[in-house]
Amino acid sequence: LTRDGGDHVPKLVSFKDKFGPEMGCFVEMPVELGIARLMGMGVVEAPTGLPPQEQYERWAALALEAIEGFDGLYIHIKGPDVPAHDGDHEAKIRSIEDIDAHFFAPLLDSLDLKRAVIAVTADHSTSCSRKAHTDGPVPLLVSGGGVSSDGVDSFGESASRNGSMGHLKGPEIMPHLVRLARG
């Protein structure tokens, strides 16, 4: 875990050396920018400050353009975290719906899912009632490539408990995704 200020630049193993693929990092937040650079990932800076629908549409177009230069692209979208910290359940739902409609819909319409593997998850859960990060498990959706349907037809913590991947710990996710992408 790399956290808070320090007196030197930490030496991290490059993503390529650790996992194999040449990755790009689609960054909205300065912390992701720093981690991406420390791990030798290509950086795609996401424009911010636009209305959510326009921003997510621009991000989808930018992601589709950027993926051509990499084996994979890590995309971190902070959107739903902010209203959750404010305790605004309805705004969190709207944020997720905006991301689904204006980022994922155009992205998925343009990708060949026979050649691409898509994973959707969260880096942590943020409870609207607690207005804070919690240690609860987060859902993981994986589609494309050779991934077969497991019958789970919705995306959320409860539905994911019934998924075929079972309970993966954070460090197990990337090796799993790389195996799926390689077929």
pLDDT per residue, tens digit, the chain (183 aa), is 556 667 888 889 999 999 999 999 998 888 889 999 999 999 998 999 999 999 999 999 999 999 999 999 999 999 999 999 999 999 999 999 999 999 999 999 999 999 899 999 998 999 999 999 999 889 999 999 889 899 999 988 888 888 999 889 999 999 999 999 988
CB 57, CB 103: distance < 8 Å: yes
89-117 b/e (C-beta count within 10 Å ≥ 16 → b): eebbeebbebbeebbeebbeeebeeeebb
DSSP conformation class of 23:
E
CATH number for the domain that contains residue 80: 3.40.720.10
Split into its structural domains, the chain has a count of 1
pTM as predicted:
0.89
Confirm whether 170 is domain-assigned. Answer: yes
Confirm whether 47 is domain-assigned. Answer: yes
Confirm whether 176 is domain-assigned. Answer: yes
CB 115, CB 95: distance < 8 Å: no
Give the range of the structural domain holding residue 175, as residue numbers without chain letter: 15-182
Confirm whether 9 is domain-assigned. Answer: no
Confirm whether 29 is domain-assigned. Answer: yes
